[in-house]
Amino acid sequence: MSYPLERIRNFCIIAHIDHGKSTLADRILDVTGAITKREQKDQLLDRMELEQERGITIKAQGVRLPYTADDGTEYQLNLIDTPGHVDFSYEVSRSLAACDGALLVVDATQGVEAQTLANVYLALENDLEIIPVFNKIDLPSADVDRVKREVEEVVGLEVDEVLACSGKTGAGVREVLETVVKRVPPPVTDPESALRALLFDSWYDPYRGAMSMIRVVDGTIEKGGRVKMMATGATYEVTELGVYDPFPKTVDHLGPGEVGFFAASIKSVEDAKVGDTITLAKHGATEPLAGFKEVKPMVFCGIFPTDSDQYTELRDALDKLNLNDAAFFFEPETSEALGFGFRCGFLGLLHMEIIQERLEREYNLDLITTAPSVVYHVHLQDGSMVEVENPSSLPDAGQIAHIEEPYFDVSIHVPAEFVGPVIKLCQDRRGIQKQIQYASEDRVIVTYELPLAEVLYDFFDKLKSATKGYASMDYELAGYKPNKLVRLDLLINGDRVDALSAIVHKDNSYYIGRALAQKLKKIVPQQQFEVAIQAAIGSKIIARETVRALRKDVTAKCYGGDISRKRKLLQKQKEGKKRMKAVGRVEIPQAAFHAILKVDG
Amino acid sequence: MPHVLDTSVYVHFPWCAKKCPYCDFATRKRPAEAIPHEAYADALLRELVLRGDLRGRRLVSVFFGGGTPSLWAAEALGRVLAGIRGAFEHEAPELEVTAECNPQSLTAEKARGFAAAGVNRLSVGVQSLRDDQLRFLGRLHDREGALRALSDAAAAVPRVSADLMFGMPKQHAMDAEIEAVLATGVEHVSAYSLTIEPGTQFGELSRLGRLEVAPDDDVARMFQAAEARFAEDGFAHYEVSNYARAGAEARHNQHYWRGGDYLALGAAAVGCLGEGAAARRYRNVKDGDAYLEAVGGAASAADVEGWRETLGPEERIQEALMLGLRTTEGVDLGALEARLGCDPLTGREAAVERALATGELVREGGRLIAPRAQWLHLDGITARLF
């Protein structure tokens, strides 16, 4: 059944983490009758196991829901789920671009929190109608009046009509949908234009190739038709077209304003780029929709199998993950210490953690990962420039004219009482203050230029603890700046461990070297022999610590009644060793390779 | 003759006059007059019947452990021993029958009584010959009592073993204790480093940071010094914590360490019987009174058990490595393969290769052996093979 534009509403839900976005989405599916109780799984929209566990949405999806409003009119609601993390801000912005309105869910027991603001700004940038919704009113501590004032004063949204609901009990959810129908504007289209559809999500299906989630803006896409991806220029025949209701259902065409998926035997998600515009292969549109951008990895790390026998398995797993996630990059790398592995690039830290976890969980691999690094621009004496994203491959100091590192423009939204600690943190991290601006009487926006490397080193955790979790942060690449940077090496029993090298600022290098050696002393377990840990810059040793030899590691008694327990203790000891890599004769745990992240500069 | 399965029997006696602060064995404090000597013997004999068919099995050793078996009436113990020997179709020549004893409850009369009942080996819990350390360990006896018990034991049975502990606070040497114990004529000594187990009184104190023990360096030195001292008297260090003159090794324990079958009777007793390549391990209900009650109403042996697990070939291989590498004879790979029907080194070739290259392990004939010099690091060496 096709719907006229005025009876289509495209909207999403935005919220601070844990404010109940997914529960409300489930309830909306429930209220519209899209799923029966039996089919209802907790947080149905979060497809992947990992997402469910971490409570964050990584992939955006769109669900079509028929809804009969109180006045008897039937509407097509398209609920578009958005990824919930700043690493995926580009994907978020494309999902929002597919919507015309957003439900801003605020936990009525908590109030406005860090990501609430960042989400609102993103929605405003995309011209969305924002409808505040106060959730969790079933809880006794809910205080809608107070939270409403916060939304008005802190977020700056007029709340003419208070929408209070409970995703848990379903109370007020129908009223929310009535408001969506009333306040979210219907899609706008240019009837003269050829097909233009925004690709806002893609994923890989082993049988059908890359699948794309699209929002049709102008024209109609039809099954069997030939379409063109405007960014890549490639053309495809649409082999399958469909919608999620929430279960996949094929359709013959999708018209203006509609949301759905298509398959076209596209080999990899690399060819179905988020943000691309789909038009007709012949007589297509000439102007793509605004906002397309190539995403580039910002953060790199080495990934190595703990057991070198798993190298091939690791490569196959990376290949498979790459099919589904074009933003993730990898190439072979050889480390003297860790053997054969891969240098991998990610959008950000969370993206990196997710990939690492999926490799271990879904592919059952034991991995050693090195500390994340940024891409340095290294200008050589001969006038050329090389990009270095692996500290151990920094050319000799003698060849280097100067090194530039990437900076981020970081804006931190924070209650006024925390401005002091935030400024101190940014100063400690080599930040350059840009602006301090009062958004309201007690909310401040602190803007700094910060080296990305410093942001990687535990900045989020430090910011969170300095502001009791109240800070929200947004960032974008601000370009490269030259700095006095040097390579800090770590030696274990006299041998340089390339995977432990780091690029640090010269002024902090002694301090970091000493702190790192001390940290490693605590991390490297006692071995049967003494282990010397040294930090060096060039050929100069700047710190030395010693891990004393382990004198005794043997169980006293082992008789019939105790054998099971002793066996389990040894199994546990073995599990602990799995996460260790033998570098020479010394067993080094995974944590050692991330120790640099925990050293305060 | 059809294939005969060598089997040991472990009998647990769950009561003590006092619970020691380091002990994590299943035991309850109970005054001597309140111990149900005969009722417990009856229950054990009934469990033996419930355990069923022992045909095709050869009894190779019996061990009465605890708890404090020396609190038990010799006649009661004797009835149980006779019942066990009668239940087996075959019996090894010179069957080893051991009873664990505390110096305080092992009187000369008790030793003679046990001997008359068929016990031919007494293992005496000396622990230390320094009164301050015995007090620290919460023991009821003193140096005099320990030495007297050893000589009473030696007068009653042909084989006597003494338990010693080391690693007590401010202890730097144990040569004097070893010397005094060896002077009594024992031919076997178990020397354990004090281990703080969670759930014990010491474990709790240690968790609270209130227990002082000897530093690992001192413990390691004493471990090495003990080996040297025993060697002077011709005692071989044949297992991590055990020393013996040739031929005086504890056969019952060797049977455990070689992965043999053992039947268990009594409260909290743990048994393990092979079933093809797998094995079934069980532990009876822990409390003595609960055990008496369970046996009374039991329709089958399973009703007496409080816990059980099935060991697959991999677990059995792990245990064979864990136990065998603690002994000078090591792991008999051929025998293990014959028992389990698979090569025990499959899947751990690389780890074994590395251990052989570093000298942590050696291969002698069909045996995998951890040289004595490696024993202080044995847990790590074994864990890498898991």
Cα-trace Rg, chain A: 27
> B384: which chain A residues are within 8 Å (Cβ-Cβ)?
574, 577
| Residues B251, B318 within the same domain | no
Size of interface A-B (CB pairs under 8 A): 102
**Burial class of A20 by CB neighbour count within 10 A (0 to 12, 13 to 18, 19+):** buried
> A571: which chain B residues are within 8 Å (Cβ-Cβ)?
318, 383, 386
Q: Is residue B287, in this structure, part of any structural domain at all?
A: no
In the structure encoding, which two tokens stand for residue B86, read together? 């009668």
Min Cα distance A354 → chain B (Å) is 29
Distance CA A289, CA A94 (A): 11
| Residues B356, B236 within the same domain | no
In the structure encoding, which two tokens stand for residue B104, read together? 């305080």
| CA neighbor of B319 nearest in space, from A222, A555, A335 | A555
Q: Judge whether A36 is closer than 8 Å to chain B, CB to CB.
A: no
3-class DSSP state of A162 = coil
State which residue of chain B sits closest to A553, comparing Cα positions: B377
Q: Is residue B276, in this structure, part of any structural domain at all?
A: no
Question: Which residues face A64 on adjacent strands?
Answer: A78
| Residues B240, B337 within the same domain | no
Contact A554 B10 (CB under 8 A): no
Overall number of domains in chain B: 2
User: Is residue B107 scored above 50 in pLDDT?
Assistant: yes
pTM value?
0.69
Q: Is residue B79, in this structure, part of any structural domain at all?
A: yes
Instruction: Give pLDDT, residue A505.
Output: 93
| Residues B113, B240 within the same domain | yes
Q: Is residue B202, in this structure, part of any structural domain at all?
A: yes
Contact A573 B217 (CB under 8 A): no
- For B108-122, letters b (16+ CB in 10 Å) and e give eebbebbbebbbbbb
Q: Is residue B266, in this structure, part of any structural domain at all?
A: no
| Residues B211, B349 within the same domain | no
Q: Give the type of residue at A416.
A: A
By residue range, what is the domain housing residue B159? 5-256
Contacts 24+ apart (CB under 8 A), B343-349: B344/B317, B344/B320, B348/B385, B348/B386
Find the distance separating the first CA and the last CA of chain B, reported in whole Å. Answer: 37
Over residues B255-277, the pLDDT tens digits come to 999 999 999 999 999 999 998 88
* Region B221-230 average pLDDT: 96
Over residues B240-260, the pLDDT tens digits come to 999 999 999 999 999 999 999
A560 CA to centre of own chain:
52
State which residue of chain A sits closest to B360, comparing Cα positions: A528
| Residues B105, B248 within the same domain | yes
> Domain with B234 in it: what CATH number?
3.20.20.70
| Residues B98, B228 within the same domain | yes
Instruction: Give pLDDT, residue A43.
Output: 47
Distance CA B126, CA A477 (A): 73
Min Cα distance A520 → chain B (Å) is 21
Task: Quote ipTM for the complex.
Answer: 0.94
| Residues B250, B339 within the same domain | no
Q: Between the CA of residue B216 and those of B183, B195, B209, what are the distances in Å? A: 29, 11, 16
Distance CA A26, CA A23 (A): 5
- Using CB atoms, which residue from B216, B270, B319 is nearest to A551? B216
Q: Judge whether A554 is closer than 8 Å to chain B, CB to CB.
A: yes
Q: Is the dihedral of CA B117, B118, B123, B126 positive or negative?
A: positive
User: Is residue B80 scored above 50 in pLDDT?
Assistant: yes
| Residues B326, B243 within the same domain | no
Compute the mean pLDDT over every residue in chain B, rounded to the nearest whole number: 94
> Domain with B381 in it: what CATH number?
1.10.10
Over residues A357-395, the pLDDT tens digits come to 889 888 889 898 999 999 999 999 999 999 999 999 999
| CA neighbor of B238 nearest in space, from B127, B167, B325, B358 | B325
Over residues A432-490, the pLDDT tens digits come to 999 998 866 777 889 999 999 998 888 888 898 898 877 877 777 789 999 999 999 99
Q: Is residue B301, in this structure, part of any structural domain at all?
A: no
Q: Judge whether A558 is closer than 8 Å to chain B, CB to CB.
A: yes
Q: Judge whether A188 is closer than 8 Å to chain B, CB to CB.
A: no
Q: Is residue B169, in this structure, part of any structural domain at all?
A: yes
Residues of chain A with pLDDT under 50: 1, 38, 43, 46-47, 50-52, 54-58, 60
Q: Is residue B54, in this structure, part of any structural domain at all?
A: yes
Residue where a domain terminates, one of B209, B234, B256: B256
Residue where a domain terminates, one of B256, B277, B299: B256
Q: Give the DSSP letter of residue A153.
A: I
Q: Judge whether A565 is closer than 8 Å to chain B, CB to CB.
A: no
Neighbouring C-beta atoms of residue B230, cutoff 10 Å: 19
Instruction: Give pLDDT, residue A56.
Output: 43
Residue where a domain terminates, one of B212, B230, B256: B256
| Residues B129, B251 within the same domain | yes
Instruction: Give pLDDT, residue A15.
Output: 85
| Residues B321, B185 within the same domain | no
| Residues B73, B192 within the same domain | yes
Confidence of residue B3 (pLDDT cuts 50, 70, 90): confident
